[in-house]
Amino acid sequence: MFVHELILQGKPDAMAIVDHKRRFTYKELQTAVTNFRNRLYAVGVREGDRVGIFSRNSADFVFAYMATASLGAISVPINFQLSNREIAYIIKDSGIRTMLTYQPLNLVDALAALRCDLKVTQYDIKTMSKADPKIGEAPALRADFDEHKPCATIYTSGTTGNPKGAVLSHRNLVANCEQMRDNGMGCKAEHNVLCVLPMYHAFGWTCSVLYSFFSGAEVVILDSFTPKETIGVIREEKVTDLYIVPSICSLLTKLATTEDMASLRLVVSGGTTLPLQIQQDFIKKFGVDICEGYGLSETSPVVTMNPPEKPIVGSCGKIVPGIQWKLIDAEGKEVPQGEAGELIVKGENIMLGYWNLPDVTQDAMRGGWFHTGDVARCDEEGYIYIVDRIKDMIISMGENIYPREVEELVYQFPGIFEAAVIGIEDKLRGQAGACFYSTHDGQDINVRELKKFLQANLALYKIPREFHLMEKLPRTSTGKIAKRMILDEFKKSKQK
């Protein structure tokens, strides 16, 4: 099956998309994609071409992506919050000549600064799905087009250097939908799935959109997260399936009533590690389990997911069916049961590679396994616990400190809203931890008491050297706390 064939799974008269005041049945979705496809072909888009999609969440984003895939072309979703310089980099790197945008972009100077001489033509994404009798019908995809051909390139926001384009095939994306089904996620035609996470990101796109179409379900689209609107839509549209990140989870717990969330049957958190306190508070208030999952853009993205029939709080679940995995040490040997090691995986959902980066691809896929860069441990029942990112690990006086362990405790201290523990330079120890935090509604935190609390629960070498109160912690577009940004600002303040 190809990705664009997922829109054929629902019954023709069943609702496929709810987008603000617009509603589309599966039949109307198919018609819109056909119209979009014809227009793309008419302006010269062909198999293998890269097509940029620069748009907020909308039905038009869906039409654009599916139409591009149906021509054998490759979608390149672009974060609409990026600067012109960052957009220009992705255009040059991926070779985009056709851009589908919800607002015109002035990229002349940014492209010139990169010495990019590509002629990029922009088209209004909102008008491309309208029928035009003057435009002929695009030819069918050639009969021998293969499901292992590229479908999309997802640019990952690296913590250092330029973003890398993870190339995902039709098979990668459809296989991940099958793996979610086989894990017992249980999405059916009668379910309503909220898509509030950005569609340009693999988590929001695969889980909220592709898996929903795969199941013949309804996708309820919000172009961004605002608490009041999101809570209202969950209630009015009787949303059953919710894919969110921890920051959204925390705000729903704070602002929604149990009646607002009464229709929910499945809540999945991903994108970044879910702090235990946030998870427990949500479950206690709404009586709905959170099935935490884990994945990466390079894996389409789902690698693990808590089975809905037996979620374990604090774990990101079991490896989904169809993925082989190991936990290895620095020498590449498997670690003993219960010990932490780097998680490496292989399966049909693993990317083809990084666009135009053969050496980086070879390193990430060495030995035929994708190296996630994440440290994890596994319990006797097969539940995975992500310990931390290898690159986030702090080495102090030769001891390994995993920031997540410290952060989990900081979150338990009364009044703490957000927390990030980051490695900073220390002349004596090499590195030390610095804790950056914000509080609920501006509450005062006694740092001395916080330190005492940590000392009672952690080895002394794990206690952060410094504590810094922030009004709020910066986040990436996908809800992750932006540790790199915090560290950069911290270094600048030290230089003053």
Which of 316, 347, 378 finishes a domain?
378
Q: What is the DSSP letter of 207?
A: I
The more confident residue out of 83 and 28 is: 28
Separation CA 233–CA 231 (nearest Å):
6
Asked if the structure places residue 150 within a domain, the reply is yes
Place 159 in a pLDDT band, splitting at 50, 70 and 90: very low
What are the distances in angstroms from CA 101 to CA 5, 128, 385? Answer: 24, 10, 40
The more confident residue out of 389 and 138 is: 138
Domain shared by 446 and 309, yes or no: no
What is the percent of the chain where pLDDT is above 90? 83
Summarize pLDDT for 428-471 with one digit per residue, the tens: 778 899 999 999 988 999 999 999 999 988 888 899 999 999 99
Indicate if the pLDDT at residue 406 is higher than 50.
Answer: yes
Place 160 in a pLDDT band, splitting at 50, 70 and 90: very low
Asked if the structure places residue 32 within a domain, the reply is yes
Asked if the structure places residue 383 within a domain, the reply is no
Residue with tokens 């958190």: 269
Domain shared by 373 and 398, yes or no: no
Domain shared by 460 and 350, yes or no: no
Domain shared by 62 and 166, yes or no: yes
Provide mean pLDDT across the span 172-193.
97
Indicate if the pLDDT at residue 77 is higher than 90.
Answer: yes
Indicate if the pLDDT at residue 483 is higher than 70.
Answer: yes
Asked if the structure places residue 386 within a domain, the reply is no
Q: What is the pTM of this model?
A: 0.86
Q: Are 78 and 87 in contact (CB under 8 A)?
A: yes
Domain shared by 324 and 457, yes or no: no
Indicate if the pLDDT at residue 158 is higher than 70.
Answer: no
Helices (H), 43-127: 59-70, 84-94, 108-113
CATH of the domain at 411: 3.30.300.30
Domain shared by 456 and 342, yes or no: no
Summarize pLDDT for 259-285 with one digit per residue, the tens: 999 999 999 999 877 888 999 999 999
Which of 378, 412, 434 finishes a domain?
378
Which pLDDT does position 495 carry in this prediction?
Answer: 79
Summarize pLDDT for 286-306 with one digit per residue, the tens: 999 999 999 999 999 999 999
CATH of the domain at 199: 3.40.50.12780
Summarize pLDDT for 342-361 with one digit per residue, the tens: 999 999 999 999 999 999 99
Which pLDDT does position 352 carry in this prediction?
Answer: 98
What are the distances in angstroms from CA 83 to CA 53, 111, 151, 255, 295? Answer: 15, 12, 25, 32, 26
Asked if the structure places residue 388 within a domain, the reply is no
Residue with tokens 């099956």: 1
Domain shared by 368 and 400, yes or no: no
Asked if the structure places residue 315 within a domain, the reply is yes
Provide mean pLDDT across the span 324-349.
95
Asked if the structure places residue 7 within a domain, the reply is no
Which of 316, 348, 378 finishes a domain?
378
Separation CA 98–CA 119 (nearest Å):
9
Domain count, the chain: 2
Separation CA 267–CA 452 (nearest Å):
35
Provide mean pLDDT across the span 241-261.
94
Domain shared by 349 and 401, yes or no: no
Domain shared by 277 and 425, yes or no: no
Separation CA 125–CA 77 (nearest Å):
13
Provide mean pLDDT across the span 392-406.
83
Q: What is the mean pLDDT of the chain?
A: 94
Print the domain residue range for 298. 15-378
What are the distances in angstroms from CA 35 to CA 31, 32, 68, 182, 354? Answer: 6, 5, 12, 34, 31
Half-sphere exposure of residue 427: CA atoms within 13 angstroms, side-chain side:
0
Which pLDDT does position 399 carry in this prediction?
Answer: 78
Which pLDDT does position 393 carry in this prediction?
Answer: 83
Asked if the structure places residue 3 within a domain, the reply is no
Over its C-alpha atoms, the chain yields an Rg (Å, rounded) of 23
Indicate if the pLDDT at residue 231 is higher than 50.
Answer: yes
Domain shared by 349 and 438, yes or no: no
Place 86 in a pLDDT band, splitting at 50, 70 and 90: confident
Place 181 in a pLDDT band, splitting at 50, 70 and 90: very high
Phi, psi of 280, rounded to the nearest 5 degrees = -65, -40
Domain shared by 51 and 136, yes or no: yes
Task: Label residue 161 left, alpha or beta by phi (over 0 means left) and psi (-120 to 50 means alpha).
Answer: left
Domain shared by 320 and 439, yes or no: no
